[in-house]
Structure 1
Amino acid sequence: MMIKQGKFFIVLILFLSISCDTEEIQIIEPIFETSQKDPPTLSYTWLDANIDEEQEDQILDLIEDHGFVWSTFPNNSLDNPNSEIIRKGIKKPNYAFSAFVKNLVGNTTYYVKAFIEMNNQIYYANEISFTTKPGTWKKLSDFPGEGLVNATGFSVDGKGFIVGSRTDFTDAQVWEYDPNLDSWNRKNDAPFSTIGSTSFVINNRGFLYCDLLWEYNSDLDTWSKLNDYPIYTYEHKGCKGVSSFVIGDKAYIGAGVGNLNEGLLEWNSVTNEFTSLTSSFSPRLNPNRSYASMFSLGNKGYVVGGEMWFYEEDESVIEYDIPNLSSSYRGSFDNDRGYDASRKEMVSFVVQGQAFIGMGYGEFPLTYGTNVGSQFDFYRYEPNGNRWIPQTYPVYVDDQDDIHFLDRAGGVSLVIGDRAFMGLGEDREYNRDTESFDTSLYTDFWEFIPN
């Protein structure tokens, strides 16, 4: 009888012990959230999440893994084949956690949620979304030569050509870019020197204006002078800082260092004749500047920025209505803070019927007149209302996720078919201590994809 009673007490003690252990085991569910983000201005961003600060000490040792799931689709999870997964492993002290993502596509909505793995379960926070700014930059093969500043670019037969000199006294290098192979090929040097000349394409023929007008034959890799003596020769001699736009079978050349900047020069590609339009427009709106940007939309040409007298950058936008031979002041080039931004040596191009422009040397004012140097902001120009719509701009994120901003002046741009490209130039800052410029050449090359 005593043995049976002893067995009964042992069973009772074991039962009470198991009952107490069961009551002590409490499943704690993490309290955390994915932080809502402002739209990123570039092709990268940080994903962020926060654990309830008061709870962190209770769950820190229980966390087996944590991170983010994200994609361009909603309802992300570790089991969703569309989801990108970022695992960060065991949680370190600090109630917040984050992850860096890069190579985001422009004008795209992304969905993100944080997750925590503990208690042999996966817990998800709320899912947030953000939309990137328009435009995507794709880095291509670097330019294989020495960097060039204020080179000019054009395309013929599906290939791009970049022309520029290293100095005022050396023949211009000519480089061919194949967009299908993403490859470069050095061609014969041009029979002239050029820094800051302008080039254009009419009916798949490539032309370059630098004091004289030249045509490039891509099949023979040769240059031909088309017109030795434009009318008003002295008035229209110029090469440095010249700009141009094309409407139909005519090119319009203006601005530049020297006398060319007094007005527009029209060149008829059919008759190979120049006509001065200096007296056709308001003298107040003549493109008397150098290193301005010119482009055309429909039957209208636009001149943006440039350098005026006494080395002062300008922010004005002038529209030329070519069929009606009229011109008008459209306003100023404004940055995304809403301030007038005086610039020169910008990159600009028209692709898919839209004009894009930016970077260059001048101001990015948070207040007027501040931060003069090379800039990196980039915009789509909407003539209706003179609106500047901010786009993403190229930044280089290396393998260590270090971010390199690419302030650029004197870059080159060109369009091949319906694809736009940009690169080269230099980072230029004025050193007030030495009263000189600190410069660093670029050899990078990018494709801009509007979206």
Structure 2
Amino acid sequence: MQTKRYSSLLWLVVVGLLSLTSCSDDSDDTATIYGVWTSRSQFEGLARSSAVSFTIGDRAYVGLGTDGTVRFKDFWEYNPNTNTWIQKADFPGAARYMAVGFSANGKGYVGTGYDGVNRLGDFYEYDPTTDKWTQKADFGGSARYGATALSINDKGYVGTGYDGNYKKDFWQYDPATDTWTQKPSFGGNKRLGATSFALNNQGYLLLGSDNGVYQTDVWSYDPASEVWTEHNKLVLNTDLDYDYSAIPRDNATSFVIGDRGFIALGNSSGVRADCWEYSPSADAWAQKNPLSNFSGAARSQAVGFAIGNYGYIGTGLTGSLRLDDFWQLAPDEEEN
């Protein structure tokens, strides 16, 4: 009986040691999480949504938008080196929201949008060296709001949106000649609230909604060949072993850091707080820091831009509340 009792105790010790070893192995396999959000200086203008932004050198410019009643025409410059805002010359056109903005050849360009009554098609150039705006040729397409814009090789591109109907046309602006040229449309559906960014001299267009349906297609545009290429759809694909079905939304924000594109926030049956990173070489998406997501309030209709190795997101709409906070993403910093 004594030998049997010792054998039982020995078995319990062995089982306990195996359990401890198993727990230790699991903790060693824990993945490191990258992507840290840090609060930065609040946007110094009034809280708003549907503003526009663009970057020139190491400065960002944010303006226009609405607080739900008032439409704005003020513009502000953000210096990430000092984490400060300074007001610049007001936008000279009608106060508006849901406009587009891009930069090309050292200047900023802003146009289209909605003034509360009219859909707009006028365009203006901002010169940061003189702090002055100059009216340029009207947008080549129909007056609209909710379009998307990007720039590639010192030329601007504007497309999609709403002019009384959903749109899918695509236009190039050449600042050297102040002219608009229509380019081939992409192969997907018309849409409102799409998102776009430029990466490796290609323009990427994705997201948005068409008649209340969130779009799942992703397209890239090569300005040299004027050819659109479709990429992996934002769905569950068991054959290719990925699930991107959480990404489709409208009124998201985007930015580019190095050779990666980022989309964040937006709306899909409610405001979102997640951020996704895109690798063009792998045509693959990965959620950035899924444990903490964006550190501010979930929102849509925010502005986003990148300067150096950091992304920035601010303003926007959550419920009926307009926001004025600003956040910085260090995408490769380890979560503590």
Residues in 1 aligned to 2:321 and 2:303: alpha-carbon distance in whole angstroms: 16
Match of 2:161 in 1: 256
Q: How many residue pairs align between the two structures?
A: 296
Is 2:255 the partner of 1:349? yes
Q: Counterpart amino acid of 2:54?
A: F
C-alpha displacement of 1:391? 0.6
Match of 1:173 among 74, 85, 109: 74
Match of 1:164 among 43, 52, 64: 64
**Change in CA separation of 1:306 and 1:227 when aligned onto 2, cut-off 3 Å:** same
5 Å-filtered alignment, 1:130-149, equals: 130-149=30-49
**Change in CA separation of 1:36 and 1:349 when aligned onto 2, cut-off 3 Å:** farther
Match of 2:125 in 1: 215
Match of 1:17 in 2: none
Whether contact under 8 Å (2:52, 2:64) holds in the other structure is: yes
Is 2:199 the partner of 1:289? no
C-alpha displacement of 1:145? 3.1
Q: What is the DSSP-based 3-state SS (H/G/I as helix, E as strand, rest coil) of the residue aligned with 2:167?
A: helix
Match of 1:315 in 2: 216
Whether contact under 8 Å (1:332, 1:340) holds in the other structure is: no
Match of 1:151 among 33, 47, 51: 51
Q: What is the DSSP-based 3-state SS (H/G/I as helix, E as strand, rest coil) of the residue aligned with 1:201?
A: strand
Residues in 2 aligned to 1:412 and 1:418: alpha-carbon distance in whole angstroms: 17
**Change in CA separation of 1:391 and 1:262 when aligned onto 2, cut-off 3 Å:** closer
Match of 2:97 among 189, 195, 198: 195
C-alpha displacement of 1:361? 0.3
C-alpha displacement of 1:289? 1.2
Q: Counterpart amino acid of 2:86?
A: N
Residues in 1 aligned to 2:167 and 2:24: alpha-carbon distance in whole angstroms: 51
Q: What is the DSSP-based 3-state SS (H/G/I as helix, E as strand, rest coil) of the residue aligned with 1:145?
A: coil
Residues in 2 aligned to 1:37 and 1:149: alpha-carbon distance in whole angstroms: 47
C-alpha displacement of 1:156? 2.4
Q: Counterpart amino acid of 2:62?
A: I
Whether contact under 8 Å (1:142, 1:443) holds in the other structure is: yes
Residues in 2 aligned to 1:253 and 1:356: alpha-carbon distance in whole angstroms: 19
**Change in CA separation of 1:175 and 1:135 when aligned onto 2, cut-off 3 Å:** same
What do the CA deviations read for 1:282-334 (whole angstroms, capped 9, x no partner)? 6x43x62121111122232111111212x332222122222222223323335
Is 2:243 the partner of 1:243? no
What do the CA deviations read for 1:225-267 (whole angstroms, capped 9, x no partner)? 1114x54xxx4322x2111122212111101111682310111
Whether contact under 8 Å (1:306, 1:345) holds in the other structure is: yes
Residues in 2 aligned to 1:253 and 1:446: alpha-carbon distance in whole angstroms: 26
Match of 2:325 in 1: 444
5 Å-filtered alignment, 1:65-76, equals: none
**Change in CA separation of 1:36 and 1:442 when aligned onto 2, cut-off 3 Å:** farther
Higher relative contact order (Cα pairs below 8 Å, separated by 6+ residues): 2
C-alpha displacement of 1:36? 6.2
Residues in 2 aligned to 1:354 and 1:450: alpha-carbon distance in whole angstroms: 10
C-alpha displacement of 1:349? 0.6
C-alpha displacement of 1:223? 1.4
Is 2:264 the partner of 1:358? yes
C-alpha displacement of 1:360? 0.7
C-alpha displacement of 1:340? 5.2
Residues in 1 aligned to 2:99 and 2:285: alpha-carbon distance in whole angstroms: 26
**Change in CA separation of 1:395 and 1:292 when aligned onto 2, cut-off 3 Å:** closer
What do the CA deviations read for 1:323-378 (whole angstroms, capped 9, x no partner)? 2222233233359954254301111111122111122101xxxxxxxxx2011111
Query: What CA RMSD, in Å, does the superposition of the two structures yield over aligned residues?
Result: 2.9
C-alpha displacement of 1:133? 2.3
**Change in CA separation of 1:332 and 1:173 when aligned onto 2, cut-off 3 Å:** farther
Residues in 1 aligned to 2:274 and 2:34: alpha-carbon distance in whole angstroms: 13
Compare CA radii of gyration and give the structure with the larger one: 1
Q: What is the DSSP-based 3-state SS (H/G/I as helix, E as strand, rest coil) of the residue aligned with 1:357?
A: strand
Q: What is the DSSP-based 3-state SS (H/G/I as helix, E as strand, rest coil) of the residue aligned with 1:241?
A: coil
Is 2:201 the partner of 1:299? yes
Match of 1:427 in 2: 318
Residues in 1 aligned to 2:231 and 2:72: alpha-carbon distance in whole angstroms: 38
- Structure 2 alignment gaps of length 5 or more: 1-16, 113-120, 237-241
Whether contact under 8 Å (1:237, 1:260) holds in the other structure is: no
Residues in 1 aligned to 2:70 and 2:322: alpha-carbon distance in whole angstroms: 19
Match of 1:51 in 2: none
Match of 1:266 in 2: 172
Whether contact under 8 Å (2:160, 2:190) holds in the other structure is: yes
5 Å-filtered alignment, 1:394-413, equals: 394-396=293-295, 406-413=297-304
Whether contact under 8 Å (1:37, 1:130) holds in the other structure is: no
Q: Counterpart amino acid of 2:229?
A: S
Match of 2:135 in 1: 225
Match of 1:276 among 178, 182, 185: 182
**Change in CA separation of 1:171 and 1:220 when aligned onto 2, cut-off 3 Å:** farther
Residues in 1 aligned to 2:72 and 2:45: alpha-carbon distance in whole angstroms: 14
Q: Counterpart amino acid of 2:264?
A: G
Q: Counterpart amino acid of 2:304?
A: S
Match of 1:390 in 2: 287
Q: Counterpart amino acid of 1:408?
A: R
- Percent identity over the alignment is 24
C-alpha displacement of 1:182? 0.9
* TM value normalised by structure 2: 0.78
Residues in 2 aligned to 1:340 and 1:394: alpha-carbon distance in whole angstroms: 13
